[in-house]
């Protein structure tokens, strides 16, 4: 009997590949349909995403719904969503998930403020109970809130996306034998946001097309970190927390501490993108361990060792 590097018979590997491809078809059909419905409604409002929170929440849960439909159609079950903590590796991954946006925020925005690429303003308004006259203390007070309570709340919202992106799509792209599955997942995730950027409703600077391009590069880099955290730990929670922490800290503190719409910082800023890439490459360097769940490893269909260069 011919087996692969995991010791599985080749016919089982081929069956898993076909099933993954069929699941992806169902997933993308539902994802595209749901995205068109909610993004078109958001676009029609012509308002920034902060003014249509209900529609944004619904949009962010479209990936989860798409993955649930695919699982039900193919009778795959829900175990590989991997809601277990992941043990020691999971705890390490959660720490990296939390510290990543903090590093990017303080370095990218800090350099931009000092170098004059962007202008600083206290993120907490005077009407806030936490308001402080000192700009530095004001920033730190805002960060304390967004890094703790804000991250917890934001993670509940990001949960809908991550159940779809990293809890289903990523592992299916790997099993289906899609070349560069992490890059593909990041590109899909980034393009999913682009219509709202081009209309100026989300993460858009003075040049929407340039903002969209910078955003795509930055999100693909972020996708490599999320994939590393998800696959190395075998748990989806680190990806959820990283996504929630990023939205809370970057949008809730650092964007609010910056005036105007500079191209240097923000989710579509060139400095944010550069710092993000550097930090991601540092964290994800070396060999990757691929886990569907904490105790269940799997390999790339090619059999090659997994690393940031091969996934």
pLDDT tens sequence across 115-170: 999 999 999 999 888 899 999 999 999 999 999 999 999 999 999 999 999 999 99
How many domains does the structure of the chain reveal? 1
Exposure b/e, 154-187, CB count within 10 A at least 16 = b: bbebbbbbbbbbbbbbbbbbbbbbbeebbbbbbe
Task: Give residue-wise pLDDT tens across range 36-93.
Answer: 999 999 999 999 999 999 999 999 999 999 999 999 999 998 988 989 988 899 999 9
pLDDT range class, residue 270, cuts 50, 70, 90: very high
More confident residue, 269 or 304: 269
pLDDT range class, residue 7, cuts 50, 70, 90: low
pLDDT of 11 reads: 56
* 310 falls within a domain: no
* 129 falls within a domain: yes
CA 238 → CA 11, 62, 149, 309, distances in Å?
33, 20, 17, 22
* 170 falls within a domain: yes
Structural domain range at position 76: 10-297
Judged against a pLDDT cut of 50, whether residue 3 lies above it is answered with no
Could you tell me if 250 and 195 are in contact, meaning their C-beta atoms sit under 8 angstroms apart? no
The pair of three-digit structure tokens given for residue 185, joined into one six-digit string? 């997942």
Q: What is the dihedral of CA 175, 177, 183, 189, to 10 degrees?
A: -60
* 28 falls within a domain: yes
* 159 falls within a domain: yes
* 252 falls within a domain: yes
Task: Give residue-wise pLDDT tens across range 156-194.
Answer: 999 999 999 999 999 999 999 999 999 999 999 999 999
* 304 falls within a domain: no
Q: pTM, whole model, 2 decimals?
A: 0.94
- The pLDDT mean for the chain works out to 93
Judged against a pLDDT cut of 60, whether residue 4 lies above it is answered with no
Could you tell me if 310 and 304 are in contact, meaning their C-beta atoms sit under 8 angstroms apart? yes
* 302 falls within a domain: no
């Amino acid at each position: 009997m011919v087996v692969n590097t995991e010791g599985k018979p080749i016919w089982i590997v081929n069956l898993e590949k076909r099933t993954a491809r069929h699941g992806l078809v169902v997933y993308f059909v539902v994802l595209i349909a749901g995205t068109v419905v909610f993004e078109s409604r958001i676009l029609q409002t012509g308002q920034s995403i902060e003014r249509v929170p209900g529609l944004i929440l619904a949009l962010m849960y479209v990936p989860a719904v798409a993955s649930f439909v695919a699982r039900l159609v193919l009778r795959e079950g829900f175990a590989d969503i991997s809601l277990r903590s992941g043990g020691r590796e999971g705890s390490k991954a959660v720490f990296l998930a939390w510290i990543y946006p903090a590093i990017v925020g303080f370095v990218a925005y800090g350099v931009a403020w000092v170098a004059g690429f962007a202008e600083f303003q206290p993120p907490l308004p005077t009407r806030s109970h936490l308001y402080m006259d000192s700009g530095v203390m004001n920033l730190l007070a805002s960060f304390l809130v967004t890094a703790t309570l804000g991250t917890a709340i934001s993670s509940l919202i990001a949960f809908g996306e991550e159940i779809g992106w990293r809890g289903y799509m990523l592992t299916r792209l790997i099993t289906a034998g899609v070349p560069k599955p992490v890059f593909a997942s990041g590109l899909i995730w980034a393009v999913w946001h682009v219509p709202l950027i081009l209309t100026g409703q989300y993460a858009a600077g003075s040049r929407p097309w340039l903002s969209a391009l910078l955003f795509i590069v930055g999100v693909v880099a972020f996708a490599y970190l999320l994939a590393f955290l998800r696959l190395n730990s075998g748990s989806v929670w680190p990806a959820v927390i990283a996504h929630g922490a990023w939205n809370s800290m970057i949008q809730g503190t650092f964007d609010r501490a910056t005036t105007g719409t500079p191209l240097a910082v923000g989710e579509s800023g060139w400095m944010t993108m550069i710092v993000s890439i550097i930090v991601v490459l540092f964290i994800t360097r070396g060999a990757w361990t691929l886990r569907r769940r904490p105790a269940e490893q799997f390999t790339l269909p090619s059999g090659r060792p997994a690393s940031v260069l091969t996934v």
